[in-house]
């Protein structure tokens, strides 16, 4: 079903649409110093379809978490728009806004920060239902009992407090809490980063089950590429707030087309020496400051395949065969196709 959705673009109307979203933050530089602008996201456009899991990957400072917050309407874009079922999030007010907020929920990295240590698990799970005045107390209790079942926790946890649960159990409670309002889109921001490997796998399987049973769309923000490759239908690769590549899972599993995606995928640990990168193809240097991003292709200062023209022109996102959208001057023209051979293993 997932590949069909990724392949059959346009057949299912998107539930969430980013259209040329930019987000900037003014940064004070000190007394009498001119203010600078931090470019957190620039011209980000993509659609999310119901039941689709999209991975958002990139190094620190790539804008992943900002994108997640904008997707939920927690932060407005500086320009561009985010539409939920066709409604511009920035224009919603009153009742419509409250309804959409119920439909868009978030799971954060640290379950300890998401749960109030002084509230029992039952109180934590009942709170959103009470705030939104959903059902009688008996109905609310029935809802949370069902949700505990969905996330694979016994009813006995209800009377316990967060410190009495393991990390994996707490994250399941956080997911159950996010599900109390029957969301249609879940943003999981590094939701498994703090968990042990075996617990990570359990939470990933839980997210896959939820997508299937609830037709839940998930934006899975992560720096963990192997998990993203296993979980997501499509993957959006960000660098310095710009989309470098939007690819099907198969495209990313094959290493991607964009030199940045290729460097990221090859730098993930794999027990196969044949997939090692040649030294000249390894990702070098630090991510430049988003206060002063490089001209042209923002990746040109680190790109192993950079050409003289890369510092002068911002590459457009072009559609390539195999469900890749790529922003790189190596792709998109007939001449470029002749030089766009994938990086070869060492
Ligand atoms: Fe590298 Fe140039 Fe492509 Fe940017 S446009 S990724 S610098 S080859």
User: Mapped to the 3 state alphabet, what secondary structure does the chain carry?
Assistant: CHHHHHHCCCCCCCCEEEEEEEEEEEECCCCCCCCEEEEEEEEEEEEECCCCEEEEECCCCCCHHHHHHHHCCCCCCCEEEEEECCEEHHHCCHHHHHHHHHHEEEECCCHHHHCCCCCCHHHHHHHHHHHCCCCCHHHHHHHHHHHHHHCCCCHHHHHCCHHHCCHHHHHHHHHHHHHCCCCCEEEEECCCCCCCHHHHHHHHHHHHHHHHHHCCEEEEECCCHHHHHHHCCEEEEEECCEEEEEEEHHHHHCCCCCHHHHHHHHHCCCCCHHHCECHHHCCCCCCCCCCCCCCCCCCCCCCCCCCHHHHCCCCCCEEECCCEEECCCCCCCHHHHCCCCCCCEC
Asked whether 317 lines ligand 1 (CB < 6 A), one says no
pTM of the model: 0.87
Q: Whose CA is nearest to atom 7 of ligand 1?
A: 300
Q: What pLDDT digit, counting tens, does each position of 246-280 carry?
A: 999 999 988 899 999 998 888 766 656 665 555 55
User: Which of 237, 242, 312, 315, when mutated, tests ligand 1's pocket best, judged by the most ligand atoms within 8 Å of its CB?
Assistant: 315
Asked whether 299 lines ligand 1 (CB < 6 A), one says yes
Q: What is the pLDDT along the chain (346 residues), one digit of tens a residue?
A: 344 443 444 468 999 999 999 999 999 888 778 889 999 999 999 999 999 999 999 988 899 999 999 999 989 999 999 999 999 999 999 889 888 999 999 998 888 888 999 999 999 999 999 998 899 999 999 999 999 988 889 999 999 999 999 988 998 999 999 999 999 999 999 888 877 787 788 888 889 988 888 899 999 999 888 889 889 999 999 999 999 999 999 999 888 999 999 988 887 666 566 655 555 556 777 889 889 999 999 999 999 899 999 999 899 999 998 778 999 999 975 545 444 444 433 3
């Amino acid at each position: 079903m997932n590949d069909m959705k990724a392949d059959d673009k346009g057949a299912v109307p998107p539930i969430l649409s980013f259209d040329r979203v930019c987000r900037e933050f003014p940064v004070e530089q000190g007394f009498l110093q001119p203010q600078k602008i931090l470019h957190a996201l620039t011209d980000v456009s993509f659609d999310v379809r119901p039941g689709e899991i999209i991975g958002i990957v990139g190094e620190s400072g790539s804008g992943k978490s900002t994108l997640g917050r904008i997707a939920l309407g927690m932060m407005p874009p500086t320009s561009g728009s985010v539409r939920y079922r066709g409604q511009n999030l920035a224009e919603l007010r009153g009742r419509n806004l409250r309804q959409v907020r119920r439909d868009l929920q978030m799971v954060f990295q640290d379950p300890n920060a998401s749960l109030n240590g002084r509230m029992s698990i039952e109180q934590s799970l009942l709170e959103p239902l009470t705030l939104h005045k959903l059902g009688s107390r008996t109905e609310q209790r029935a809802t949370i009992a069902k949700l505990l079942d969905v996330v694979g926790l016994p009813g006995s946890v209800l009377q316990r407090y967060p410190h009495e649960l393991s990390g994996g159990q707490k994250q399941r409670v956080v997911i159950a809490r996010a599900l109390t309002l029957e969301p249609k889109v879940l943003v999981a921001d590094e939701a498994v980063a703090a968990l042990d490997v075996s617990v990570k796998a359990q939470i990933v399987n839980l997210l896959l089950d939820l997508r299937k049973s609830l037709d839940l769309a998930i934006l899975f923000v992560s720096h963990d590429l192997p998990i993203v490759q296993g979980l997501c239908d499509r993957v959006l690769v960000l660098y310095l707030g710009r989309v470098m590549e939007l690819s099907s899972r198969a495209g990313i599993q094959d290493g991607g087309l964009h030199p940045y995606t290729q460097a990221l995928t090859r730098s993930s640990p794999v027990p196969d020496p044949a997939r090692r990168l040649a030294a000249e193809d390894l990702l070098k240097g630090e991510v430049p400051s988003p206060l002063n991003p490089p001209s042209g292709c923002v990746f040109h200062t680190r790109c192993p395949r950079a050409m003289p023209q890369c510092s002068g022109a911002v590459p457009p996102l072009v559609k390539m065969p195999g469900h890749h959208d790529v922003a790189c001057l190596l792709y998109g023209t007939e001449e470029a196709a002749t030089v766009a051979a994938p990086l070869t293993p060492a």
